[in-house]
Amino acid sequence: MFTNSEITDWAKDTIKSEANALIATADYLNESLAEIVQILYNCKGRIIVSGIGKSAIVAQKIVATFNSTGTPSMFLHAAEAIHGDLGMIQNEDVILILSKSGESPEIKNLVNILHSWENLIIGMVNKENSYLAENANHFLYVPCEKEACPNNLAPTNSTTIQMAIGDAFAICLMKLRNFSEDDFAKYHPGGNLGKRLLLTLEDIYPNNRAPFVQLDSSLKDVLNTISQGRLGAVAVIDEEEYVLGIITDGDVRRLLQNVTDISIISAKDFYSQKPKTIVENTLAIHALELMRKNDISQLIVVDEQNRFVGFVHLHDLVKEGLG
């Protein structure tokens, strides 16, 4: 029986081996990578990413990353290519082929077929003198001296390197295109990620009540409005609905600890001036960041003229999955 400590050490050794392989790859990379990125950037069609075995799985991940960051891409399994999938390739597409050895029969067949086409072939391979390296129009040599596998057989370090270089390609292409957060949101409209990038306060605050008082409102009116609003606060506004301040239930509690005659108290006697406000078309995630930064649980929502339109509460954002 092996101990938990031994098993943990094996896991640590695996991760360290892959980390060291990535560092060695980063130190090795040169302008050949930049030349390939330029080719991908100038491609008028799509990037067709292909491979066999574990490299095919990595190729699918690279395709997913490319597509989600603005580089049109498709996956082509090297073994399925000769059974009809070659039909997906169009004249202006660039073919990126991943392989550890560069000698797999499926890879050789694919390269031989593509030689009669006009598409550029880019190889990413771990052997400099391999068939793929020698027959691709451009190739990126990515050395991998040893796998993390104790038998030096199972693709571990080599596939980690392939994955990282695919990410490097994607990030370089994003920078060349000035791919922005708005661009990213366009390709990720669903789920929590979509909400972080697209959900604005205009989608949230109309569902809340909009409690407000004016400077001459009595303490009783303030208390009733806070209770009815159920947000723990009221906005203090003027006759033209410009925001003057805020009163929270905490402000009321502190007031009651220090006064005896509440009949003469009005909002102007204890409201907080210059409250935190946020414009209604702001992303909801930015409202959450502002709340956390200032350790508050609600924000007054205003229009672009600073007129009061409502409240957004921390609970609203948590309910949307942003918290």
In tens, the pLDDT along 54-99 reads 999 999 999 999 998 989 999 999 999 888 889 999 999 999 999 9
Q: Is 313 annotated as a binding residue?
A: no
> Hey, what are 95's tokens?
């073919």
Q: How many CA atoms lie within 13 A of 140 on its CB side?
A: 26
* Contact predicate 123/138, CB 8 Å: yes
From CA 249, how far away is CA 253, in angstroms rounded? 6
Q: The tokens of 99 are what? A: 């392989």
User: How many whole angstroms separate alpha carbon 14 and alpha carbon 7?
Assistant: 11
| Mean pLDDT for the stretch of residues 295-323 | 88
Gap between the Cα atoms of 133 and 32, Å rounded: 13
CATH class, 4-179 region: alpha beta
Asked if residue 230 has pLDDT above 90, the reply is no
CB 314 within 8 A of CB 298: yes
Domain ranges (residues) in the chain: 4-179, 201-319
Q: Choose among 315, 272, 267, 273: nearest CA to 291.
A: 315
Token pair, residue 234, equals: 């009221």
**Residue 219 above 70 pLDDT?**
yes
State the DSSP string of 78-130: HHHHTTTGGGG--TT-EEEEEESSS--HHHHHHHHHHTTSS--EEEEES-TTS
pLDDT at 192: 61
* CB burial readout 291-302, b (16+ within 10 A) else e: beeeeeebbbbb
> Does residue 27 register a pLDDT over 70?
yes
| Average pLDDT in the chain | 90
Q: Render pLDDT for 165-190 as a digit per residue (tens, 0 to 9).
A: 999 999 999 999 998 877 776 666 66
> DSSP characters for 274-318?
S--EEETTSBHHHHHHHHHHHT-SEEEEE-TT-BEEEEEEHHHHH
Report percent pLDDT > 70 for the chain. Answer: 96
Chain Cα centroid distance, residue 283:
15
Q: What's the CATH code, domain 201-319?
A: 3.10.580.10
Classify burial at 287, counting beta carbons within 10 Å of its beta carbon; exposed 0-12, middle 13-18, buried 19 or more.
Answer: buried
pLDDT at 191 > cutoff 70: no
CB 300 within 8 A of CB 277: yes
Sign of the Cα pseudo-torsion (57, 59, 64, 69, in order): positive
The residues facing 125 across adjacent strands are 99, 141
Neighbours of 180 (CB within 10 A): 11
